Structure 1
Amino acid sequence: MTDIFISGGRCLIGPDLTHTSLTISEGLISRLDASGHAGLDLDAGGLAVLPGIVDIHGDAFERQMMPRAGVDFPIDVALIDSDRQAVSNGITTVFHAATWSWEPGLRSAANARHLLESIEALRPRLAADTRFHLRHETYNLDDENEIRGLLAAQRIDLFAFNDHMDSTVASLDKPHKRQRMVDRAGLSGDDFDRLVQRIAARADAVPASIARLAEAARQAGIRMLSHDDESPEMRRAFRGQGVGIAEFPVNEETAREAAAGGDAIVFGAPNVVRGGSHTGWTKASEMISKGLCSVLASDYYYPAPLLAAYRLVADRILSLPRAWSLISAGPAHAAGLSDRGALAAGQRADIILVDDSAPMRPRVVAVIAAGRLVYLTETNRLSTAVAPRAAAAE
């Protein structure tokens, strides 16, 4: 692995942006504020040098798997393309949030299994540190034992409890929403309606299943999330089972309960970029201004975390160091990854160089992931001690 020396940039060191240099060796940041050269030298003049983005909830890969309803592409192709998209937007750690539902089709058990196996097989080829975030639909009782086995084997990196049954039932009376679900599942309309009715009848068995799965995750040391908490009571109930991450709480009262309990609070970065939720729920920028958000996730759009951080600065809600914490140090802490999220000696060398001369349109110039240069748009910024030797050899 070639050593890398980065100089001339504004580096995010602790709470400040400081003109300093970084030396990278064996995949780690080895020194700060040193002089000299390395196998690869990167000129970061005029750029911000920032810790890589940690994305703990992203499902944009689904569009690479099924770009149109009923049109499938191989999962390995989808993962490789998603990796390129994530890295080019500064994401160096990505948790693919795969829904394991009672539905057939895109969010089926078979697809979730295949995705997990593909991530495990492809990890050496992917630039981003790629992990598996299982979004378990709580009414999916049929696969509980299998999922408990995966938790025990620690093959799941994050485990979320999702319950979309009420919204699914409500959507049956809304033709456009119903048709999207029917197309995604690959069933006829009548067959889908019958399936929903059969699954909804399981409600009484769901709480005990949640308790068993939460126990399995606790025993395996896997961090858990609850999705779309609707009330403080719901958040307290999940916290009582060891679920320490509140993902997209739907109102301020619930977010305040999460904050009071010391929980990590996740909102979607697209919510910030677009100025509000596409569902009409909580406005993330307002929650951030009130100190009720510790993590922003890409959700369904990989460019969103980078854009959201800079929008928070442009809107004078947060300074860049504080905004960047929401997409790097904050999610790393929530996921239990103590080796990243900061530019410090001994930390994993996940680093991005950003041209932020246009405040609302930051542009990723270079990405280093685990000490390897994996993305570069301006080759004039790179000099290498290897190139002259190679030229001489020719």
Structure 2
Amino acid sequence: MTELYIEGGRTLLGTEIGETSLTISGNVIAGIGDAAHGAFGLDASGLLVMPGIVDIHGDAFERQLMPRPGVDFPVDVALIDSDRQAITNGITTVFHGTTWSWEPGLRGADNARKLLAAIETLRPQLAADTRFHLRQETFNLDAEDEIIGWMKDGRIDLLAFNDHMDLAGISKPAKRARMVERTGLSSEAFDQLVDRVLSRADQVPASIARLAEAANAAGIPTLSHDDNSPAMRAGFRDLGVRIAEFPINEETAIAAAEAGDFIVFGAPNVVRGGSHTGWTKASDMIARGLCSVLASDYYYPAQLLAAFRLVHDGILALPQAWSLVSSAPARAAGLTDRGDIAPGRRADLLLIDDSIALRPRIVAVIANGKLAHLADGARLRPATALPHQAIAAA
């Protein structure tokens, strides 16, 4: 069994950071503070050693699928490229947020099916633990039976309820134009499609309830997206949906927090200093205890950068900021084997150079006990050779 050793890093243990060493055996953390005895080691002196980032909502992979409107690339190529991007930004567990909408094109049925099949096929080859987060557009009624079948077969890891019929562009010309472009339809054909979809609006609540019931039966965590009122959040909570994803106002976030729901905001919101949509400012919500999870959303570097931005701005200490991108999203997703550093936990670890304010640099990534990324300047223990397994992973 391959053993690794991380020597002398400033390591996050619980809510404290202190210098220690770690031993990894197989794919788990085997010891803390033990004498060096690994097959090879990483010198972490001067570096932070942190749990791997868990990203429960990211759709940046869509940029690899369709880098320009109407320009498609093979799904396997896109996923492999996205995996490298995730790992080099410290994301060791990634949920690809795949939208299955009533619209054709990038977010249509064919792409959802292809993405799920590709993730399942490629998963053993990918460095990050890659999981399927299905974002079901609630007006996508024809997909209900197939999605329930996927859940029964254990193929879905997270299920989100989205409604972009209004919020994503039907009533907003600029966003509508982007949707039309994404579908490949003419403007007239798009409007006709919208009319057909809206004609079945009375069937949507019952469909949501059936999907939520199936998810609960399968033990799949569920999310509601862009909750716009405490009443909307309460309605989803009554269905067992306990993750509020991007509540769009303070009142809804307060209601979610008071009920003990997980509350997700986008890490790019923190890094940029506000929402690109003009909605809730995530750093304000965090300061008030109204955010428990930060997700990459549409930009893989954002979680790493956001944690250090929160520290720099005096909003949270690093252990608390890091929980937003590691232990809390792991709990929200029902993953009890990762998110913190302790004996027996999955060995997902990051070595980070934090010497430049607001610009942390990933020096090394260990994912599931394997060395998945090693940056220039990383220090291996002298006179030791990398095991074959680690070389293959790196």
User: Same fold, TM exceeding 0.5?
Assistant: yes
Deviation by residue 1:85-115 (Cα, 9 ceiling, x = unmatched): 0000000000000000001000001100100
SS of 1:381's equivalent in the other structure is: coil
Give the conservation status (yes or no) of the 8 Å contact 1:38–1:385. no
Distance 1:121 1:43 in 2: 35
User: Residue 48 of structure 2 corresponds to which residue in structure 1?
Assistant: 48
Give the counterpart of 2:318 among 317, 320, 324.
320
Distance 1:386 1:37 in 2: 12
Stretches (4+) displaced over 4 A: none
Q: Structure 2 matches for 1:36-185, cutoff 5 A?
A: 36-168=36-168, 170-171=170-171, 174=173, 176-185=174-183
Percent same amino acid among aligned pairs? 67
Give the conservation status (yes or no) of the 8 Å contact 2:10–2:47. yes
Distance 1:384 1:143 in 2: 56
Q: Structure 2 matches for 1:286-301, cutoff 5 A?
A: 286-301=284-299
Distance 1:296 1:180 in 2: 26
Q: Structure 2 matches for 1:254-333, cutoff 5 A?
A: 254-333=252-331
Distance 1:241 1:222 in 2: 13
The CA deviation at 1:39 is 1.2
Give the conservation status (yes or no) of the 8 Å contact 1:97–1:134. yes
Structure 1: gaps (5+ residues): none
Distance 1:158 1:189 in 2: 33
User: Residue 367 of structure 1 corresponds to which residue in structure 2?
Assistant: 365
Deviation by residue 1:171-220 (Cα, 9 ceiling, x = unmatched): 4x62x433211111011111111101111121111000001101110111
| Aligned residue identity for 1:82 | S
Distance 1:84 1:388 in 2: 20
Distance 1:20 1:76 in 2: 40
Give the conservation status (yes or no) of the 8 Å contact 1:5–1:21. yes
Give the conservation status (yes or no) of the 8 Å contact 1:169–1:196. no
Structure 2: gaps (5+ residues): 389-394
SS of 2:381's equivalent in the other structure is: strand
Distance change >3 Å, CA 242–CA 357, structure 1 → 2: same
Give the conservation status (yes or no) of the 8 Å contact 2:158–2:220. yes
The CA deviation at 1:351 is 0.1
In the alignment, does 2:198 pair up with 1:200? yes
Give the conservation status (yes or no) of the 8 Å contact 1:265–1:295. yes
| Aligned residue identity for 1:338 | T
Give the conservation status (yes or no) of the 8 Å contact 1:340–1:347. yes
Give the conservation status (yes or no) of the 8 Å contact 2:170–2:176. no
Distance 2:75 2:233 in 1: 34
Distance 1:7 1:387 in 2: 16
The CA deviation at 1:378 is 3.3
Distance change >3 Å, CA 310–CA 373, structure 1 → 2: same
Distance 1:250 1:321 in 2: 27
SS of 2:180's equivalent in the other structure is: helix
RMSD: 1.4
Give the conservation status (yes or no) of the 8 Å contact 1:2–1:40. no
| Aligned residue identity for 2:189 | D
| Aligned residue identity for 1:326 | L
Distance change >3 Å, CA 25–CA 104, structure 1 → 2: same
| Aligned residue identity for 2:110 | A
User: Residue 391 of structure 2 corresponds to which residue in structure 1?
Assistant: none
The CA deviation at 1:168 is 4.6
The CA deviation at 1:2 is 2.2
Distance 1:310 1:241 in 2: 36
| Aligned residue identity for 1:275 | G
Superposition TM-score, scaled by structure 2 size = 0.96
Distance 1:111 1:62 in 2: 10
Q: Which is worse superposed, 378-387 or 344-353?
A: 378-387
User: Residue 248 of structure 2 corresponds to which residue in structure 1?
Assistant: 250
Deviation by residue 1:107-132 (Cα, 9 ceiling, x = unmatched): 00110010000000001100000000
Total equivalences in the alignment = 388
SS of 1:382's equivalent in the other structure is: coil
Distance 2:378 2:204 in 1: 58
